Amino acid sequence: MSEIKPKIAVLVSGSGSNLQTIINNIENGNLNCEISYVIADRFCYALERAEKHKIKSVLLDRKIYGDKLSDKINEILEKNNEKTSYIILAGYLSILSEEFIEKWEKKIINIHPSLLPKYGGKGMYGMKVHEAVIKNKEKESGCTIHYVDSGIDTGEPIMSIKVRVSEDDTPESLQKKVLEKEHILLTEGIKKLLENEKNERV
Ligand code: GAR
């Protein structure tokens, strides 16, 4: 009998390199889980990545669903009828509703491209984070994964990795360095969460 693996849903808005890392690590056996759904809030390259790997994907255009977007995501996860262990925000840029966050407490994980609590909050995402870090002449930056609470980037941190910022770094070069670490962090973070969940079951 084949083993029933924990299911994760991955929410995306962009290129999906973090999604690709999860896919690669599932395919090479490093992560013992399955992606039940890739859900995007806009048309993005991440959807193509899901399709290439035959993963169920759904586009819920935030412009169409507006403040009903979280309800719709919840509906899809419920319809799936299988327990969703974690919802991974991998470059997902819409704000989830309080109701959704409450329902999935400690199950929603976000990856952010800075050492939180620095450079988090409203308007701090993607390249904007790296621009601010360079502008402030920081000596280090990095990435953080954290549980999602009702604030923006304020939930309890799980793990982070530091990156040294060199004097000749640009926002683009820093983004590249941080993204490489994000891929390691996200894999290690998901692995740790799945192991904890497994230990809780036995
Ligand atoms: C990543 O750098 C991720 O940390 C960031 O968006 C990028 C998505 O890249 N997320 C945020 O800024 C959320 N506040 P990807 O689409 O290649 O995974």
Model confidence pLDDT, tens digit, residues 45-93: 999 999 999 999 999 999 999 999 999 999 999 986 678 999 999 999 9
23 CB less than 6 Å from ligand 1?
no
Residue 30 has pLDDT above 90, yes or no: yes
Active site residues: 112
Atom of ligand 1 nearest to the CA of 16: 16
Is the per-residue pLDDT at 193 higher than 80? yes
Q: What's the pLDDT at 167? A: 96
What mean pLDDT is reported for the chain?
96
> Which pTM was predicted?
0.96
- Cα–Cα–Cα angle for 43, 44, 45, nearest 5°? 145
Does residue 47's CB lie within 6 angstroms of at least one atom of ligand 1?
A: no
Q: Look at residue 153 in the predicted model and tell me its pLDDT.
A: 97
pLDDT digits (tens, 9 = 90+) for 171-187: 999 999 999 999 999 99
Residue owning the nearest CA to atom 10 of ligand 1: 91
Fold of 7-201: Rossmann fold (3.40.50)
Quick one: pLDDT at residue 41? 98
Please say whether the dihedral angle defined by the alpha carbons of residues 113, 114, 120 and 126, taken in this order, is positive or negative.
Answer: negative
| CA–CA dist 61, 59 (Å, integer) | 6
**Phi then psi for 193, rounded to 5 degrees?**
-65, -40
Instruction: Identify the pLDDT of residue 174.
Output: 98
Asked if 25 and 187 touch (Cβ cutoff 8 Å), the reply is yes
Identify which has the larger pLDDT, 160 or 2: 160
Interval between CA 112 and ligand 1 midpoint (Å): 6
Distance 3 CA to ligand 1 centre (A): 32
In ligand 1, the atom with minimum distance to the C-alpha of 182 is 4
